[in-house]
Amino acid sequence: MSQPTLTEQVNAVTETLTQDIKSNKLDLPSPPELLVSIRQLGADPDTTTNDIADLVKHDVNISGRLIKIANCALFASRHQVSTVHAAITRLGQKKVQSLVTGLVIGQQIMRNKTKGLEAFCQQSWQNSNAVAAWSYALAQKKTKLDPEQALLAGIVHNIGALPLTLKLNTIPALKEDPKILSLVANVVIPKLYPRAGQLIMQSWHFAPEIIVVAREHLNL
């Protein structure tokens, strides 16, 4: 029996994932604990800088990234900050909440990267960062939109790639050939990730305006 061609494999995978999305059967990862906690703090009007610092300081990687961001040219003053509390004070609680959300999602993407899709996951995360930076700058300088909300929207706009990469890694025929897996991913994921993004943002209880960005950002 002849092996299916690449086109046949792409079509089969596309059909499977499309049906999973339509029937709401796509396996969605649970939101990371830190993401849940930072969003809970963000929803509480009594949250203080100390509350956020106490939460974030337990994650060394994210703490270090926040301090680095606070000292970058866009936010830095003449004095460098060296603590999480000082970084949050400089950046502001709302911006920190958006940044932590993005950093946690980035960790999730890179932690779940699968064999054969490492480069794809890395590129998705870099694209997320670039879109978030442009969204923040444009909202701040050219519109009356909330820059922090634009930053968050940019960070999560392509989150739908995460459950799709995880799903592809469960298909035996693709796992056996990383080259084919990468080729299929590069064709299938760009077609389906907005709809998958809508599902994961709904599952993680994000605001409707963020869900719309994940689903409709390609519809210019």
CA 91 to chain centre: 21
Compute the mean pLDDT over every residue in the chain, rounded to the nearest whole number: 87
Q: Per residue in 155-169, pLDDT tens? A: 899 999 989 988 888
Token pair 């396996």 in the structure block, residue: 27
Q: What is the pTM of this model?
A: 0.84
Q: Per residue in 35-70, pLDDT tens? A: 999 999 988 999 999 999 999 988 998 999 899 888
d(C-alpha 172, C-alpha 33), whole Å: 30
Q: Per residue in 140-194, pLDDT tens? A: 888 888 888 898 899 899 999 989 988 888 888 787 788 888 888 888 999 999 9
The pLDDT of 101-119, averaged and rounded, is 78
For residue 76, is pLDDT > 70?
no
